[in-house]
Amino acid sequence: MTFSTIAVMSPGDMGHAVGRAVQEQGYRVITALAGRSEHSRQRAERGGLEDVDTLERLISEADLVLSIMPPSAAQAFATAAADAMRSTDAAPVFADCNAIAPATTQKIGSIIGAAGAAFVDGGIIGAPPGRGSPPRLYVSGGDAELLLPLGGPELKIVSLGPEVGRASALKMCYAALNKGTMTLETAVLLAGKRLGVYDELIVELASSQPAAFKRIENRVPWLAADAERWTGEMEEIAATFADAGLPANFHLAAAQIFRLLATTSLAAETRETADRDRTLDEAVRLFVDALSAPRRAAQ
């Protein structure tokens, strides 16, 4: 099987960049923007994605659908896509590329399979194409190698074999460390602030762990922009760990940290609009205010 038209849903920060990278490999890339925000439309335009308006038209015209969206939306989208497959009598290959647990992947695979379409398990690791080293799209399942021709200088495709769930499992393990560490770093700073030793903690970290402190400075001030969608990712990781016989509470706590950050004014930013002049101290003050708000409200 060869592809000519690739559908990307949705054209978010990662999705529109993946769409652009795939288009540069010579494919027609489409999306469906009915009911979408102006921000999504702008990203789709930047990525060169052709708007076909409705999901039904997208399904009928696509040879391959790449689902790239917040984890919390993945199963509902797969269900809607399967319904569109039945109503249009079309069956494009469906690749779920979201940060979801292997168990969730299995459910989505069953939904797509029941509609008569081939399913590929996927997981993206790395920054969006065009921002440094190319991300890796790991794929698994009986039809996984169909996606290998999509790879190029800006997007690497790596097959993990015929077993559905392996790509999702790798993504979960990686994100458990990467994003889980971000929330631990944030929690440590908030604890230091609430316990009155924040300034001393900063001095100690900068002195004894300069590499770790530099990493904290470079990412904690802007975590709120991604906090809402990463909350669901932490919950998927918690479920993955539980299924593997490991404690789930690490990442349930991480979800709580992201849920807290999503309540702050900084959560209204996007990666494009975030204030890159913001200092770590300024961000921590806002995060602590959000942590204190429930206590003030209860008094």
Convert the pLDDT of each residue in 50-107 to its tens digit.
Answer: 999 999 999 999 999 999 999 999 999 999 999 999 999 999 999 999 999 999 999 9
Put the strands of the sheet holding 119-125 in their side by side order.
50-51, 28-31, 5-9, 64-67, 93-96, 119-125, 136-140, 156-159
Tokens (6 digits) for 289? 């205010």
Average pLDDT over residues 149-178: 98
Say yes or no: 261 and 237 in one domain: yes
The per-residue pLDDT for range 289-298, each reduced to its tens digit, is: 999 875 544 4
- The two beta strands, 119-125 and 136-140, are antiparallel
Distance CA 192, CA 199 (A): 8
Q: Would the CA dihedral through 39, 43, 48, 53 be positive or negative?
A: negative
- Mean confidence (pLDDT) of the chain: 95
Give the pLDDT of residue 1.
78
Residue range 141-151: mean pLDDT, rounded: 97
The yes-or-no verdict on residue 271 having pLDDT over 90 is no
Is 90 found in the same domain as 20? Answer: yes
Give 2-34 pLDDT, tens digit per residue: 899 999 999 999 999 999 999 999 999 999 999
Domain of 240 in residue numbering reads as 170-298
At 298 the pLDDT is 44
Q: What is the DSSP letter of 220?
A: G
Structural domains in the chain (count): 2
Residue 70: CA count within 13 A, CB half-sphere: 11
- Whether residue 148 is found in the same domain as residue 178: no
**In angstroms, what is the C-alpha Rg of the chain?**
20
Give the model's pLDDT for residue 21.
Answer: 97
Output the domain CATH number for residue 248.
1.10.1040.10
Res. 272 pLDDT band, cuts 50 70 90: confident
Residues 15, 135 share a domain? yes
Helices (runs of H) and strands (runs of E) counted in the chain: 11, 8
pLDDT at 10: 92
Task: Answer whether residue 132 shows pLDDT above 90.
Answer: no
pLDDT in the model for residue 293: 72
Q: Are residues 133 and 200 in the same domain?
A: no
Domain identity same for 13 and 149: yes
